[in-house]
Homo-oligomer: A and B are copies of this chain.
Amino acid sequence: MARRSRAARGRVENTQVAAPFVKRVLPYFDLLDEERLAALEAQVDWIFEDVGVAFRDDREAVRIWRDAGAKIDGDIVRADAAWIRSLCALAPREFTQLARDPKKSVVIGGKNQVFAPVYGSPFVRDLEGGRRYGDIASFEKLVKLTYMHPFLHHGGFVTCEPCDVPVSKRHLDMLFAHMTLSDKPHLGAITEMSRARDSVDMAEIVFGQEVMAQNCVIMGNVNTNSPLLVDKVASEAVRAYCGRGQGIVVVPFILSGAMGPVSTAASVCQAMAEAMMVCAFSQIVWPGAPFVLGNFLSSMSLKSGAPTFGMPEPVVSNYVIGQLARRAGLPLRCGGSLTASKIEDAQAAYESADSMHSTMLAGANFVMHAAGWLEGGLCTGFEKLIMDADRLGSYQKVLSGGLDTSEEAFARDAYGEVGPGGHFLGSAHTMRNYQTAFYEPKLSDSENVESWEEGGSKDMRQRAFGRWQTMLADYQPPKMDEATREELEAFVARRKEELPDAWY
């Protein structure tokens, strides 16, 4: 029985879309016309030139800006918009992030789309263990599941916070897990300059100095401190990653009405201005450094002031920022499977789907939080990860398949076989094509109600629970050169010796 079910799973897998990332054939959904896009860009330029963005570290960022020719007023940097845009134009429109398994390397930018899991949650939740603080054991399970899932192309980084490891050392354990339990591309730490450096150093052990000099093998992901502030964490991360030719993802998180004006248009412009200022900074540090422009815009509940997700305002913002990023020639991170729901209920799914559908059509190149996000990002759900990822396969087929209009797809021969009121089930055309015709989701139940009840009336959450447990039971680590592993272990051991235990 178990054997048969394993074989059946294998057959279905073959009919699915599987690729290291999405190569998009679908056109984009262009929500705004040229004139209105130009109006938004004028607002962005106004922020560059008149409002300015503050850079607050130990005056190093301001020094770099001054040397490059910006106008400095205290810690506020203002600059000619054309100059900022010309600096941004130095960043590549698309670039490859190498994976340890070269077949899993991803191209970020252009018509490509890369899906990565949730990032940064202090809590985890699963159907058996309930809600609890994240720990290194959960973290490793999440890395394994991401490694195994065909529709998660990238490992992300903090799939949950391993709260049982000191803050000062946990980046080492997280990096080691990504580098040994998976061979997909991933990000590195950003919370402090030395942690960012450790990340790049460990990547250098895995890829070697020569490869690293020529390629992006690791990236950091930082937030600006909206509104209009780039703090020490962000500017140091740019210097640590881009300073060694590696990539940086910069994401203003704007809850409209709090960290930006309450209107979507103004918040989108502010996000563009903040991210492009950091992009320009990154290109001063290392001309040509891989840069991803991020946008994380949330609406607000009038009842509680809490952020809301999957709502019309962020949906619209995804479409609009997609247009603006393409015009700026910069790879885009936006959207994800976002929700404010505490559990994997219908709210979580409605919000995640509307958020992700717009993320998909908007052409977001690097989609963090594409799976596993709950509770406004406070919690990683094991079932949610698997449920979202199942839906990512559907998006991948829409994006990379579009509509087949080949002669075979028109099936004219079938109409010679099947007359009015007949059926196409056994027609030659159906037999030739049925195995690849449809996306076959793993977690959607399409049985009739009687079969479903006989199977225990399981909802999607219960099916997802079973699936991730089976996946983990089947987990086989990717191959790794023993010398590299030992070198990584030695690095982690040495740094753990050097670093103090700090818990905050």
Residues of A within 8 A of B (CB): 8, 12, 15, 26-27, 29-33, 36, 39-40, 43, 46-47, 51, 53-54, 56, 75-76, 131, 225, 227-229, 256-266, 269, 299-304, 306-308, 310-313, 315-316, 320, 340-354, 357-358, 361, 375-376, 378-379, 387, 391, 394-395, 397-398, 401-405, 408-412, 414-415, 418-425, 427, 429-430, 433-435, 437-441, 443-449, 451-452, 457, 459-461
Contact = CB atoms under 8 A, between A and B. Distances in A.
A348 to B, nearest CB: 6
A445 B160 CA distance: 23
B404 A437 contact: no
Contacts of A316: 398, 401-403
Contact of A446 (B32, B260, B320, B340): B340
A343 B461 CA distance: 12
A440 B301 contact: yes
Contact of A353 (B33, B266, B350, B404): B350
Interface of A is mostly: mixed
Given A341-B444, A347-B443, A350-B387, 15 more contacts: A32-B403, A131-B449, A261-B424, A263-B433, A300-B437, A308-B438, A316-B398, A340-B445, A340-B446, A342-B452, A346-B346, A347-B445, A350-B353, A354-B357, A357-B358
A421 B225 contact: yes
A250 B478 CA distance: 55
A258 B424 contact: yes
B352 A350 contact: yes
A419 B228 contact: yes
Contacts of A15: 302
Contacts of A452: 342
A450 to B, nearest CB: 10
A28 to B, nearest CB: 9
A361 B29 contact: yes
A12 B302 contact: yes
B263 A445 contact: no
A353 B357 contact: yes
A29 B29 contact: yes
B346 A387 contact: yes
A315 B398 contact: yes
Nearest to A30: B27
A420 B308 contact: no
B31 A448 contact: no
A266 B411 contact: yes
Given A301-B446, A346-B346, A448-B306, A43 B313 contact: no
A43 B410 contact: yes
A347 B460 contact: yes
A403 B36 contact: yes
B429 A228 contact: no
Contact of A261 (B262, B353, B414, B440): B414
Given A315-B398, A424-B258, A36 B438 contact: no
Contacts of A36: 403, 405
Contacts of A422: 227
